[in-house]
Amino acid sequence: MERRTFGSTTLELVRGDITEQEVDAIVNAANARLAGGGGVDGAIHRRGGPSIMEECRKIGGCPTGSAVATGAGRLPARHVIHAVGPVWRGGTHGEDEQLASAYRRSLELADELGARTVAFPSLSTGAYRFPVDRAARIALGAVRAWLESAPTRIELVRFVLFDEATLDAYRRALAELGD
């Protein structure tokens, strides 16, 4: 496990299953329709049960670069924050800023919900094909900037990464951030 402190918040990198995280809020890699899908999104909906989808249907959708929250159903978390990252289209269509915005909005929402602990997956790097090394630098940079910009109740931000290659990319990006 890699750890770093930014402001008063600990940032962790771990390999694991985000649906098993006992945190206040987990972030879901959602699509703009909040319609469920594969990967992280499918796993969260399967494990959390139908109440999450019912709430998503009531919300209706979420624009790319933003996030909305629901309850967590049967998950060990209290909230699911559904963040919509961009589909990779070569890097010339604002994807970097949209990805950073999805992380920032997720943290804002977690803070508004009173969450002290938040777990993120690697947004947009699965079916949306965002290059993992680039996504890791953007994710960690956006999270660090947000944590250092204002006081927050969030004590822990954990990146829960599904495989060793993704975890390694995040380790490299964290090392590049320096102290």
Distance, in Å, from the CA atom of 79 to the CA atom of 53, rounded to the nearest integer, reads: 13
Question: What are the C-alpha distances in Å from 102 to residues 107, 146, 157?
Answer: 9, 12, 15
Tell me the whole-structure pTM to 2 decimals: 0.96
Give yes or no for a contact between 9 and 147, defined as CB atoms under 8 angstroms apart. yes
In 3-state terms, what secondary structure has residue 88? coil
Distance, in Å, from the CA atom of 4 to the CA atom of 137, rounded to the nearest integer, reads: 15
Distance, in Å, from the CA atom of 94 to the CA atom of 91, rounded to the nearest integer, reads: 7
CATH tag for 2-177 (out of 3.40.50.720, 3.40.50.300, 3.40.220.10, 3.40.630.30): 3.40.220.10
Catalytic positions: 41
Q: What is the mean pLDDT of residues 18-43?
A: 94
**What is the residue extent of each domain of the chain?**
2-177
pLDDT bin (cut points 50, 70, 90) of residue 177 is: confident
What would the pLDDT profile of 54-101 be if each residue is shown by its tens digit?
Answer: 999 999 999 999 999 999 999 999 999 999 999 999 999 999 999 999
What would the pLDDT profile of 44-58 be if each residue is shown by its tens digit?
Answer: 999 999 999 999 999
pLDDT bin (cut points 50, 70, 90) of residue 109 is: very high
- Token look-up 């469920």 returns 36
Q: What percent of the chain has pLDDT over 70?
A: 99
Strand pairing category for 79-83 and 67-71: antiparallel
pLDDT at 154: 97
Give yes or no for a contact between 85 and 102, defined as CB atoms under 8 angstroms apart. yes
Q: Is the pLDDT of residue 36 over 90?
A: no
CA-based nearest residue to 52, from 39, 68, 32, 38: 68
